[in-house]
A and B are shown apart, each in its own frame.
Chain A
Amino acid sequence: MTAPTDHRPPEASATAFTDALNAFTDRPHEPPPLQLIAPDGTLTLPPEQTPGYRPALLRTLYRDMRMSRELDTEATALQRQGELGLWPPLLGQEAAQVGSAHALRPDDYVFPSYREHGVAWCRGVDPVDVVKLYRGVTNGGWDPRETNFHLYTLVVGAHVLHATGYAMSLAKRGSDAVAVAYFGDGASSEGDVAEAFTFAAVHDAPVLFFCQNNQWAISEPVTRQTNSPLHRRARGFGFPGVRVDGNDALAVHAVTRHALDHIRGGGGPFLVEAFTYRMGAHTTSDDPTRYRPPAELEQWRAKDPLARLRTHLTAAGHAAPDFFDEVEQQARELAHRVRHAVRTMPDPERLGVFDHVHAEGHALVDEERRGFEEYERSFTDPERP
């Protein structure tokens, strides 16, 4: 056997070429998510360099996170008692939701998925209206125009395109309002989300993509959805992306504010990835013990967004015990109100099946409604056979 002839070029040039290639393909080191308040309640920057660092804002963030958690706890209990058909808990995601929602202007328009109860609360949507969907009395629940908070979207990712289109409409009309899409790490795999990124990028649409990476899509960890940190996707589409500690309400607020300023200033879309954790089940029909290691939950419990801000408020002297007492009182009142409203909520009128199928009517629907009405009457009308 003779040795094969080596046609390869000399080593030196191969190395230069490899170096050149690597300059394109090397993965940069992934920094930890941006954080302003550490889990132990201390600031990571001096107060004067911490954006948004105002005691009043911190107290508001705390209050609204506490109210969101209370709504969540109450709704979960109501589901267990059979009053709601289903509930997707937000437990653990309060800072991501409340922190970002408080950075928005009232004329910004929010497109939530189905777990954004904390954002709904901050936008002024009545929590009683939010639970209606999960009680099964409506597929909507509120008038989106009143609060600029769109109806929940249950088809994962679909609304991210709606937000982009809405943003395009805002830009066409010369408004400096921003459209905001909330979606999950799982949703980032849907084609609709990639298409939304494409449309937003090429139109410079004023849209904020707010991804709550809560690490799980039902039973699938985020590693089943992506091999690269989600915030980096934005770069590939041609707009900026940032990863923020999603359990730090102040950092989420500051990053969202920054993103909104960028968008309002004509900078085009922006992706914020709130790195957080779903501490509860996916929904009340899900059993996370089948797929999630308990140690992971414990690790994230130590980063609880409420505990962290409470510790900071207390240590910094921004809130006295009577502030927290007052918030607890308000939370109890909210829980009572929601419970009473759900318990006394009537079922919709049965012919409601046929309501609002079309804006301009439809002969077939009218005929089916009349037919059904007649059929129902046949049970009670003694005149009929």
Chain B
Amino acid sequence: MTLAKALNLSLRTALEDDRDVLVMGEDVGRLGGVFRVTDGLQKDFGEDRVMDSPLAESGIVGTAIGLALGGYRPVVEIQFDGFVFPAYDQIVTQLAKLHARSGGTLRMPVVIRIPYGGGIGAVEHHSESPEALFAHVAGLKVVSPSNPSDAYWMLRQAVRSDDPVIFFEPKRRYWDTGAVDPDATPPPLHRAQIVRAGTDLTLVAYGPSVKLCVEAAEAAAADGHSLEVVDLRSVSPVDFDTVQTSVEKTHRLVVVHEAPVFFGAGAEIAARITTRCFYTLEAPVLRVGGHHAPYPPARLERHYLPDLDRVLATVDHSLAY
């Protein structure tokens, strides 16, 4: 099943399981979302539970806060990464803080689904990776699946979470396929996973970059290098223990993400792992990511996004220390 279909199934199951779950956003109803993630849900669950919102992101998140106060569990869709910012105020100043401000009395079980990342040749504002902006905010949890099974399970777990979860969907992986087992026992939402074992170097990634790292590990294997790939799955909190265990085995770490390197998630991982693994590291933690420049127009994005060559060049660089 495709990652998009897995998300759809996840929402469908969540709506079936709990009458208080609501789905809302622009074009999520009759159209089924611009990526069809909510396809058919309004038909089956009605306009009361799957609601087309007015074109107003601040309104979408602000009313989700009110619905959560009223006992509902809203799952809202922001149509594209670059359009979350009208809602950023509500997310950062209200949603993230209400639990703390109320001394733990109020719960904000709100999921904000955001298709993110590049690689689909889109126009401006349709290819951004703003995860670090949210991870920096206390009170929010930030996750991103990289495959259909995680898409299904992580969204189910996010919906059940009593904390606000920013759920970043890697849009260029929407059409990737993989098995989904609705009877499985999933790992905890914020646990990292080793997706490929190796001994010479650890590649850490999440969301759209995981597949790239697996490809890089395959290519490096042909050159006799054994790379371990860790899928972080969660950007806030980060499962540093899993990364540390891996780095203690391989002694080298390269972090890969699409977002700009500067002040990105990789910076935090590099700092923490350097502290934890200072005596076992044989090279500085290196990072591969986007440049410190606005996301370029489609015909230039291949020069902006990390690709196989850039990951492998950085791996070589690390191994050369």
A residues lining the B interface (CB < 8 Å): 85-86, 133-139, 154-157, 186-187, 189-192, 217-220, 224-225, 285-286, 290-291, 347-348, 350-354, 357, 362, 364-365, 368, 372, 375, 378-379
CB distance from B170 to the nearest CB of A (A): 18
Contact of A353 with B299 at beta-carbon distance under 8 Å, contacts A139-B294, A219-B29, A364-B292 already known: no
Q: How far is the CB of A188 from chain B (nearest CB, A)?
A: 8
Residue of A157, A218, A347 near B299 (CB, 8 A) is: A347
Q: Does B212 contact A (CB under 8 A)?
A: no
Q: List 14 A-B contacts (CB under 8 A).
A: A86-B122, A133-B124, A135-B298, A136-B123, A156-B55, A189-B55, A217-B26, A217-B55, A218-B31, A219-B29, A220-B52, A353-B303, A364-B292, A372-B291
Asked whether any CB of chain A lies closer than 8 Å to the CB of B82, the reply is yes
Question: Given A218-B27, A225-B55, A154 and B296 touching (CB < 8 A)?
Answer: no
C-alpha gap A27/B26 in the complex (Å): 29
Provide the bound-state CA to CA distance between A217 and B262, in Å.
36
Q: Is the beta-carbon distance between B31 and A85 smaller than 8 angstroms?
A: no
* Contact among B52, B86, B125, B300 for A352, CB-based, below 8 A: B300
Q: Which of B34, B58, B299, B309 has the most CB of A within 10 A?
A: B299
Interface status of B174 (Cβ within 8 A of chain A): no
Judging by beta carbons under 8 Å apart, are A219 and B27 in contact?
yes
Could you mark each residue 18-58 of chain B with 1 if its beta carbon is under 8 Å from any beta carbon of chain A, else 0? 00000000110111101000000000000000001111111
Contact present for A368 and B56 (CB under 8 Å) = no
The answer to whether B52 touches A85, judged by C-beta atoms less than 8 angstroms apart, is: no
B262 touching A364 by the CB < 8 A rule? yes
| CA of A378 to CA of B312, assembled, Å | 13
Q: How far is the CB of A123 from chain B (nearest CB, A)?
A: 21
> Is chain B's binding surface mostly helix, strand, loop or mixed?
loop
How many angstroms between the C-alpha atoms of A314 and B125 in the bound complex? 45
- Chain B contacts of A372 at CB under 8 A? 291, 303
Given contacts A136-B299, A189-B55, A219-B27, contact A365 B34 (CB under 8 A): no
Smallest beta-carbon distance B121→chain A, Å? 5
Pair A135/B27 contact, Cβ less than 8 Å: no
A189 and B122 form a contact (CB under 8 A): no
Inter-chain contact A365/B298, CB cutoff 8 Å? no
Does B198 have its Cβ within 8 Å of any Cβ on chain A? no
Q: Out of A139, A191, A354, name the residue touching B297 (CB < 8 Å).
A: A139
Having A85-B123, A138-B297, A348-B299, one finds 9 other A-B pairs with CB under 8 Å, namely A136-B298, A154-B82, A217-B55, A220-B29, A224-B52, A290-B32, A354-B291, A357-B292, A378-B313
Q: Give which listed residue, A285, A290, A375, contacts B310 with CB less than 8 A.
A: A375
* Minimum CB–CB distance for B291 against chain A, Å: 5
Q: Which of A191, A286, A379 has the most CB of B within 10 A?
A: A191
- CB-based contact B293/A357 at 8 Å: yes
The answer on a CB contact under 8 Å between B86 and A190 is yes
Chain A residues with Cβ below 8 Å from B293 are 353-354, 357, 365, 368
Residues in A whose Cβ lies below 8 Å from that of B309: 379
Q: Are B55 and A352 in contact (CB under 8 A)?
A: no
For A219, the chain B residues whose CB sits under 8 A away are: 27, 29-31, 52
1/0 per position for B282-304, CB-CB distance to A under 8 A? 00000000011110111110011
> Contacts of B82 on A, CB cut-off 8 Å?
154-155
How long is the Cα–Cα vector from A354 to B298 in the complex, in angstroms? 14
Contact A375:B292 (CB < 8 A) given known A136-B121, A218-B31, A348-B297? no
Contacts of B292 in A (CB 8 A): 357, 362, 364-365, 368
A225 to B56, CA, bound (A): 9
B59 at the interface (CB under 8 A from A): yes
Chain A hits for B72, CB < 8 A: none
B83 at the interface (CB under 8 A from A): yes
Residue numbers in B under 8 Å from A353 (CB-CB): 291, 293, 296, 300, 303-304
> Which residues of chain B are near A357, meaning CB under 8 Å?
292-294
Chain B, residue nearest A133 (CB): B123
For residue A157, which residues in chain B have a CB less than 8 angstroms away from its CB?
A: 55, 86
Contact between B55 and A350, CB atoms less than 8 A apart: no
Within 8 A of A (CB), among B43-92: 52-59, 82-83, 85-86
With a CB–CB cut-off of 8 A, which chain B residues contact A364? Answer: 262, 292
Most A CB contacts (10 A, CB to CB) among B55, B86, B298 go to B55
A191 to B26, Cβ gap below 8 A? no
Partner of B123, one of A134, A225, A362, A375: A134
In the bound complex, residues from chain A placing their C-beta under 8 Å from that of B57 are 190
Check A85 against B86 for contact (C-beta < 8 Å): no
A291 touching B313 in the complex, CB below 8 Å, given contacts A133-B123, A154-B124, A155-B82: no
B59 contacts A191, CB within 8 Å? yes
Q: B89 to chain A: closest CB distance in Å?
A: 9
What CA separation (Å) do A351 and B304 show in the bound complex? 10
- Cβ–Cβ contact A375 & B122, under 8 A: no
Collect the chain A residues with CB atoms within 8 Å of residue B83's CB.
Answer: 155-156
In the assembled complex, the CB of B45 is this many whole angstroms from the nearest CB of chain A, namely 17
Complex Cα gap A261–B30 (Å) = 43
Contacts of B297 in A (CB 8 A): 133, 136-139, 348
Q: Inside 8 A of A133's CB, which chain B residues have their CB?
A: 123-124, 297
Q: From A152, which residue of chain B is reached at the shortest CB distance?
A: B124
Residue in A86, A134, A189 whose CB lies within 8 Å of B59? A189
Instruction: Given the known inter-chain contacts A139-B124, A290-B30, please indicate yes or no for A191 contacting B58, CB distance below 8 A.
Output: yes
Chain B neighbourhood of A286, CB < 8 A: 34
Contact of A220 among B26, B121, B122 (CB under 8 A): B26
Question: Roughly how many angstroms separate A139 CA and B59 CA in the complex, as a whole number?
Answer: 28
Nearest chain A CB to B295's CB is how many angstroms away? Answer: 8
A133–B297 CA distance with the chains assembled, in angstroms: 8
Distance between Cα atoms of A159 and B169 in the complex (Å): 28
| Cα A189 to Cα B55 with chains together (Å) | 5
Q: Which residue of B lies closest to A351 (CB)?
A: B303
In Å, the complex CA distance between A191 and B57 comes to 9
For the complex, what is the distance from the CA of A375 to the CA of B310, rounded to whole Å?
8
- Distance from A358 Cβ to chain B, minimum over Cβ atoms (Å): 10
**A351 CB contacts on chain B under 8 angstroms:** 303
Contacts of A191 in B (CB 8 A): 56, 58-59, 86
Least CB distance from B197 to A in Å reads 29
**A174–B183 alpha-carbon span in the complex (Å):** 71
Check if B303 sits within 8 Å of A350, measured CB to CB.
yes
Alpha-carbon distance between A190 and B296 when the two chains are bound, in angstroms:
26
Q: Which of B123-155 contact A (CB under 8 A)?
A: 123-126
Contact A155 B125 (CB under 8 A): yes
